[in-house]
Amino acid sequence: MMNRVLGVLLIVGAIVTGLYWWSYFTGGDVMATHERWYTAFESSFPVADGWMALCMAAAGAGFVMRRGWASPLWLMAGSALIYLGCMDMTFNVENGMYALAAANDAMKFEVFINVTTLILGVWTLVASWPRQQAQ
């Protein structure tokens, strides 16, 4: 049951990732600031986030349908989530971005994304690890 919940959350996460980038490029509502140094960093992630979302969607479908073919995708999705979450957090810490969260809704959403990404990544790896060892 918990793996099915995780599968649904991975699929939802993939959809939210797509919606994030749609918002970023069409309205900028998710931008914590419009400064060039920030947008240069953020604009370098659509391809990597696209890969992460693809892995999440495929892994999520595999969890929901309980398919053995998806086990490598679970590890790929989990590691992509952790890697990209750590990249975002490192940038935010080094540039004092978390301090903006008190008065900036976009930054509050960014904090939510960072925390959720890491939790989902770790959960995905933990849930998939026993399956990898059994094969």
Q: What is the pLDDT of residues 98-118, one digit of tens each?
A: 999 999 999 999 999 999 999
pLDDT tier at 1, thresholds 50, 70, 90: confident
- 3-state percent breakdown (helix, strand, coil) of the chain, nearest 5: 85, 0, 15
Range of the domain at 42: 2-134
pLDDT tier at 134, thresholds 50, 70, 90: low
Two tokens, residue 61:
């479908």
Angle subtended at Cα 92 by Cα 91 and Cα 95, rounded to the nearest 5 degrees: 80
Q: How many domains does the chain have?
A: 1
Percentage of residues in the chain having pLDDT higher than 90: 82
**Mean pLDDT value of segment 62-79:** 90
Q: What is the pTM of this model?
A: 0.90
Side-chain half-sphere CA neighbours of 134 within 13 A: 7
